[in-house]
Amino acid sequence: EVVLVESGGGSVQPDGSLRLSCAASGFIFDDYPMHWVRQTPGQGLEWVSGINWKGDSIGYAESVKGRFIISRDNARNSLFLQMNSLRVDDTAFYFCAKSNGGYGDYGGAFDSWGQGTLVIVST
Amino acid sequence: ALTQPASVSGSPGQSVTISCSGITHDVGGYNYVSWYQQHPGKAPRLLLYDVSHRPSGVSHRFSGSKSGATASLTISGLQSEDEADYYCCSYTTSNSLTVFGGGSRLTVL
């Protein structure tokens, strides 16, 4: 069974930083691309970032480009999201999601999701 | 974002269809449309990928199709547990890799 567990969320002031982690188990982690998807409480889903199995092909949503950095450690079956220069509108639940590798370097449907970790950016 | 109706409803046993409208740069140009179900307080769950493919474990009551730049999710034999939010998602050649629809809340009457 695929299990994804996010951690690292919390409250931070604008312009602050947070580092999210996602611990993966139940599948061969370095066989699949991984992603971060966020959801503002009570609102819709937004793709944030994705990374291929090797970590050398990466993409970001325009809203986070230049501020967030995705990375992975295949030896530790872990995915990370370094979030810098946080803004109030970054407030959301952040989900770690496994891709089925359906297209491109890191594209595909999100076939497994974690439960999410809440990030609150507020003064 | 892809355009979905904000809400849909149906009675138990009936069928409902949720539309997802995009453009040629996303839904209209590629068969990389996926659908997700999300119950309150839960993580999304993949229902369909590549327009109409069901992952193992997903009921045959869920089916997908696409015509032009509009994809559709049909849920047949509605059950109370189908009451949830549904999101479509597509590969896009615009700024981001992937774009989601705004979500549709299904109410089972």
As averages over each run of 10 residues, the pLDDT of chain A (123 residues) reads 97 98 97 96 93 94 97 98 98 97 87 98 96
| pLDDT score, position B60 | 97
Distance of residue A110 Cα from the nearest chain B Cα, in angstroms: 7
Contacts of residue B97, defined as CB under 8 A and 6 or more positions apart, other chains included, come to A47, A50, A59, A104, A106, A107, B91
| pLDDT score, position B55 | 96
| pLDDT score, position A40 | 94
Residue B72, beta-bridge partner list: B19, B65
| pLDDT score, position A114 | 98
Distance of residue B97 Cα from the nearest chain A Cα, in angstroms: 7
Contacts of residue B53, defined as CB under 8 A and 6 or more positions apart, other chains included, come to none
Which residue, A62, A31, A40, A39, is CA-closest to A49? A62
Look at strands A34-39 and A18-25 and give their pairing.
Answer: unpaired
* Residue to test with chain A: of B90, B96, B105, most A Cβ within 10 A: B96
Residue B98 to residue A47, Cβ atoms within 8 A: yes
**pLDDT under 70 in chain B at which residues?**
none
Locate tokens 């501020």: which residue?
A67
| pLDDT score, position A105 | 83
